[in-house]
Amino acid sequence: MSTQTFHHALKIQEDICIGCSHCMNVCPTGALRVMGGKAKLSAERCVDCGECYRVCPVGAITVEQDDFSRVFDFKHSVVLIPEILFGQFPEDVDRNLIKDSLEQIGFSEVVEIEHAAAILKDTTRDYLHRSEQERPLISAFCPAVVRLIQVKFPALVDHVILQKPPLDITAMYYRKKLEDDGIHPDDIGIFYVTQCAAKIAAIKSPVGETHSYIDGVINLDYLYNKVYSTIKTKKEPIGEVRDETDEELSPEGVLWSLTHGEADQNEGRCLAIDGIHNVIEFLEKVENEEMSSVDFLELRACDESCAGGILNPANRFLTVERLRNRSREQEKLVQQGRPVSTGITGYRQYLVENLSLKPVAPRSIMKLDEDMTRALKKMRRMKDLMNTLPGVDCGVCGAPSCSDLAEDIVNNKANLRDCIFIQRNYEKKNLQRPDESFDIMRRIWGDKKLKGDS
Amino acid sequence: MTMEFDYDINGGDFSRAGFASSHLKKILKQVNIDPKLIKKIVIALYEAEVNIVAHAYEGHIHVIIEPEAIRIEVKDRGPGIEDIDQAMEDGYSTASEEVREMGFGAGMGLSNIRNNADDLEINSTVNEGTELVIVKKLH
């Protein structure tokens, strides 16, 4: 048995949680249960997709981040920003103003992550040509998808493209560049602004990498507030255009984190799928080999890809529109002969040499037991239990469905009497007293919910 | 210790082709069978499902899971196979134009089943139906 623990950026604040079970009912990997009136998260099953965060009515699910003051610990504090950040602001907020504000709040350098597209565009095409891995090849861009494949689709781990995502590549590039400029490695701090929990988890316990190149993570909503208040208190009129000396991002770089951002750059039959439930449905088909001749899959856990990240304050569709407009502007610049992403392409060879990920290991959450004979016994018992349980998936037992309860029972994590229908049945047959049923409900849902009027 | 599962398949119901293989796949993951073996079993079963849907009027699939092997018994009522050896050849198909337009009937069905199974037994009577027994050893 593996004793490895997995880092999760999503945390349940028990003092805030009201045990409403909304999160439990939307979790795509069945990682949540209610016990003692609080939601409990299973570290093995969670893939940090953030569906629970979206539905929590009281904000009890939080996304951890590093202390912002760490930014001041380094002589060179580099902030890696996703293009999505610019897409959060209305059109009248100039992007140079946003960059200026980032410098004002403490960063010495601002680098756009999607410059990595200049490297990945070519290496991915090459990879598709020469890789002998089974088709379709699946992009490792979205860390929630990589984890989903590990836990729910272990047979597909060999389909994952073993190339680092843009964030790591840009981090590698900029660290190397500063070191080449003569800056001591200890003086370099690289910070990442994230729109989701999965990327934080990937940085804190990377899959297929020995270490991360990132020193700290800052949540996008937190930074958005800091930037916006800096802009609002500025004397200069909003929209003032500074002389643009920074290097330009390519039109495809701007779109990289949106749906089709990767798929449209590759040759062959390439599909883009967003939304974790759509991704699961599609991976089922891939696993059955129901489709042939698909070369490349871009799979993103969030609806509208990173524009739909859980930490984004702006509406995802407006963000997509802003990025598309921006991409068209960049297209014009390219047509005028303006070079793009020149800094990172100077490091192409170094980056290509350090681009590989180690194979992704499966860690199935599906198996009932390591031993097949025992697993078969449990399976048989589950089948019997399913005939006894009501099949209404009411969640009153603290598990999301009757089959989840049956699975918990065969794994000694729950009792048949946790089911309210079974309780009624036992009471009628005088096998259980009402106060015993009451105690069971109290154990699952806590004292508060069972107070009643008296 | 064995487990058995049954599936009824209707001829012509392409929208449901894949239901049995998806269901069995989940079960095989739960009993901790090697993902690579699961894949082979699921592909063989899916092809068998599609064969019933594309060629027969109706069919029944009976799956037996044992610690040593998975046994899949497929029985359909349909036109039967005239020449089994020919039907086993890659690319040989009697599927109608209509079926091919739907992306099925490439003539790889039976050979795909054979390639993914350890043992395949076929019995067929023309104008009555076809029976397959597919065995995949687990060790």
Indicate the pTM of the whole model: 0.91
Q: Could you say which of A284, A287, A375 has the minimum Cβ distance to residue B31?
A: A375
pLDDT tens track for A212-234 = 789 999 999 999 999 999 988 87
Region of B16 please: left (phi>0), alpha (psi -120 to 50) or beta.
alpha
pLDDT at B96: 80
Using CB atoms within 10 Å of the CB of residue B49, give its burial: 0 to 12 exposed, 13 to 18 middle, 19+ buried: buried
Using CB atoms within 10 Å of the CB of residue A10, give its burial: 0 to 12 exposed, 13 to 18 middle, 19+ buried: buried
Asked if pLDDT for residue B8 goes beyond 70, the answer is: yes
pLDDT at A8: 86
Average predicted confidence (pLDDT) for chain A: 92
The strand pair at B129-137 and B69-77 is best described as antiparallel
Asked if pLDDT for residue A387 goes beyond 90, the answer is: yes
Range with the lowest mean pLDDT among A128-137, A194-203, A232-241? A232-241
Q: Could you say which of A154, A287, A376 has the minimum Cβ distance to residue B31?
A: A376
Mean pLDDT throughout A392-413?
Answer: 97
Region of A274 please: left (phi>0), alpha (psi -120 to 50) or beta.
beta
pLDDT at B98: 78
Range with the lowest mean pLDDT among A405-419, B53-67, B82-96? B82-96
Query: Which three-class secondary structure state does DSSP give residue A208?
Result: coil
pLDDT at A233: 85
Is B1 in contact with A380 (CB distance < 8 Å)? yes
Interface check for B102 against chain A (CB to CB < 8 A): the answer is no
| Helical residues (DSSP H) of A354-419, grouped into ranges | 372-388, 402-410
Interface check for A375 against chain B (CB to CB < 8 A): the answer is yes
CB-based contact A289 B46, cutoff 8 Å = yes
Query: Maximum Cα–Cα distance for chain A, whole Å?
Result: 85
pLDDT at A399: 98
CB-based contact A364 B29, cutoff 8 Å = yes
Interface check for A328 against chain B (CB to CB < 8 A): the answer is no
What is the distance between the alpha carbons of residues B71 and B123, in angstroms, rounded to a whole number?
16
What is the chain B residue with the closest CA to A374?
A: B31
Q: Three-state SS across A298-335?
A: EEECCCCHHHHCCCCCCCHHHHHHHHHHHHHHHHHHHH
Chain A with chain B: Cβ pairs closer than 8 A: 67
Interface check for B2 against chain A (CB to CB < 8 A): the answer is yes
Interface check for A158 against chain B (CB to CB < 8 A): the answer is no
Partners of B138 on chain A (C-beta within 8 Å) are: 372
Partners of B22 on chain A (C-beta within 8 Å) are: 284, 288
Q: Could you say which of A290, A373, A377 has the minimum Cβ distance to residue B46?
A: A290
Mean pLDDT throughout A73-81?
Answer: 95
pLDDT tens track for A2-53 = 445 678 899 999 999 999 999 999 999 999 999 999 999 999 999 999 999 9
CB-based contact A155 B30, cutoff 8 Å = no
pLDDT-based confidence at A236, cuts 50/70/90?
Answer: low
Neighbours of A314 (CB within 10 A): 17
CB-based contact A289 B29, cutoff 8 Å = no
Interface check for B46 against chain A (CB to CB < 8 A): the answer is yes
Kindly state the percentage of chain B with pLDDT values over 90: 66
The domain spans of chain B are 3-137
CB-based contact B138 A383, cutoff 8 Å = no
CB-based contact B30 A375, cutoff 8 Å = yes
Q: Could you say which of B29, B35, B67 has the minimum Cβ distance to residue A376?
A: B67
Average predicted confidence (pLDDT) for chain B: 90
Compute the nearest-CA separation of B48 from chain A (Å): 12
CB-based contact A364 B32, cutoff 8 Å = yes
pLDDT at A440: 97
pLDDT tens track for A338-351 = 999 999 999 999 99
Angle made by CA atoms A441, A442, A443, in degrees to the nearest 5? 90
- Number of helices (H), then strands (E), in chain A: 18, 11
Kindly state the percentage of chain A with pLDDT values over 70: 96
A240 DSSP 8-state letter: P
Asked if pLDDT for residue B20 goes beyond 70, the answer is: yes
CA-based nearest residue to A373, from B41, B138, B62 = B138
Mean pLDDT throughout A228-246?
Answer: 64
Asked if pLDDT for residue B102 goes beyond 90, the answer is: no
Partners of A284 on chain B (C-beta within 8 Å) are: 22, 25
Interface check for A242 against chain B (CB to CB < 8 A): the answer is no
Amino acid type, A140 = A
pLDDT at A2: 40
Partners of B26 on chain A (C-beta within 8 Å) are: 366
Query: Which three-class secondary structure state does DSSP give residue A3?
Result: coil
What is the chain B residue with the closest CA to A157?
A: B35
pLDDT at A454: 54
Does the domain formed by B3-137 have CATH 3.30.1330.60?
Answer: no
Is A76 in contact with A45 (CB distance < 8 Å)? no
Partners of A383 on chain B (C-beta within 8 Å) are: 3
pLDDT at A453: 63
Q: Which domains does chain A have, with CATH numbers?
A: 10-62 (3.30.70.20), 68-132+160-269+304-353 (3.40.50), 372-450 (no CATH)
CA-based nearest residue to A18, from A41, A37, A33, A44 = A37
Interface check for A338 against chain B (CB to CB < 8 A): the answer is no
Range with the lowest mean pLDDT among A200-214, A435-449, B37-51? A200-214
Compute the nearest-CA separation of B36 from chain A (Å): 6
Mean pLDDT throughout B34-39?
Answer: 90
What is the distance between the alpha carbons of residues B64 and B3, in angstroms, rounded to a whole number?
6
Exposure class string for A86-124: b at 16+ Cβ within 10 A, else e: bbbbeeebbbebbbbbbeeebbbbbbbbbbbbbbbbebb
What is the distance between the alpha carbons of residues A361 and A358, in angstroms, rounded to a whole number?
9
Kindly state the percentage of chain B with pLDDT values over 70: 98
Partners of B69 on chain A (C-beta within 8 Å) are: none
Angle made by CA atoms A208, A213, A219, in degrees to the nearest 5? 100
Is A140 in contact with A146 (CB distance < 8 Å)? yes
Q: Could you say which of B2, B31, B36 has the minimum Cβ distance to residue A368?
A: B31
pLDDT at A376: 93
Is B4 in contact with B63 (CB distance < 8 Å)? yes
Mean pLDDT throughout B123-127?
Answer: 94
Q: Could you say which of A284, A289, A369 has the minimum Cβ distance to residue B32?
A: A369
**Listing from the earlier edge strand, what are the strands of the sheet with A270-274?**
A137-138, A296-300, A270-274
Asked if pLDDT for residue A452 goes beyond 80, the answer is: no
Interface check for A386 against chain B (CB to CB < 8 A): the answer is no
Of residues B64 and A240, more confidently modeled = B64
Cα within 13 Å of Cα(A394), Cβ side = 10
What is the chain A residue with the closest CA to B138?
A: A372
DSSP letter string over A134-179? PSSEE----HHHHHHHHHH-GGGGGGB--B--HHHHHHHHHHHHHH
- Give yes or no for a cis peptide into A136 (omega within 30° of 0): yes
pLDDT at A243: 45
Partners of A376 on chain B (C-beta within 8 Å) are: 1-3, 31, 65, 67
Mean pLDDT throughout B89-100?
Answer: 79
- Tokens coding A108: 């010495």
pLDDT-based confidence at A240, cuts 50/70/90?
Answer: very low
